[in-house]
Amino acid sequence: MPSESPALDSSTTGCEGDIPSLVRTLAGRDGLARKQARRCLIRMGEDAVEPLVEALGDANAVLRTEAAEALLYLSSPRAAPALVAALEDEEFGVRWLAAEALIALRCDGMVPLLEALIRRSDSLWFRQAAHHVLRDHYCERMRDELQPLLEALSERDAEDTAPVFAGQVLKTLSPAMSR
């Protein structure tokens, strides 16, 4: 899991407000206040995941970016489906942070990513982000199975071939993930 600098301890010292108010602070203009709110939400752990997931769907790009960054550091598998959806965000920073958060999830983000790749391969942004996640993930047990999919995502006809390869990987992966 990535570590936010300076190191975060498990306490919420210096954190004022409840989770909803901290999430609202993430949308503000004050960069220092946003950073402090993000750190507080990270310290709060799993309790902050659902509100941050909801924030990924907000119209405010600053809020979506801050939420994606907080989810990167929280590294919660519960956020995987929302992070996969954020791979198509109109803001590059949100897409990048969502991809990095999925990479940090290791194997836990693969199933939602592969399922979405089957359905949304028509999106160039999504294919590019999926390629980034699959290339840099840290799920060693899947590296060999993912290689043909990575190659398909690099080809001109990726929109047509990537879903086929993603489906093949998903079939081999599902039994392995249930162990």
pLDDT tens by residue, 18-44: 999 999 999 999 999 999 999 999 999
Residue 70 has pLDDT above 70, yes or no: yes
**SS3 category, 97:** helix
Two tokens at 3?
A: 């570590």
Q: Burial letters for 87-104: b for 16+ Cβ neighbours within 10 Å, e otherwise? A: bbbeeeebbbbbbbbbbb
Measured from the Cβ of residue 44, the count of other Cβ atoms closer than 10 Å reads: 20
More confident residue, 136 or 174: 136
Name the band, by pLDDT with cuts 50, 70 and 90, for residue 177. Answer: low
Q: CB-hemisphere CA count at 13 Å for 80?
A: 19
Q: Which whole number is the average pLDDT over 147-157?
A: 92
C-alpha–C-alpha distance, residues 130 and 127, integer Å: 5
Give me the domains of the chain, ranges plus CATH numbers: 1-104 (1.25.10.10), 106-179 (no CATH)
| pLDDT per position as a tens digit, 100-126 | 999 999 889 999 999 999 999 999 999
Measured from the Cβ of residue 7, the count of other Cβ atoms closer than 10 Å reads: 6
C-alpha–C-alpha distance, residues 110 and 108, integer Å: 6
Two tokens at 176?
A: 């392995």
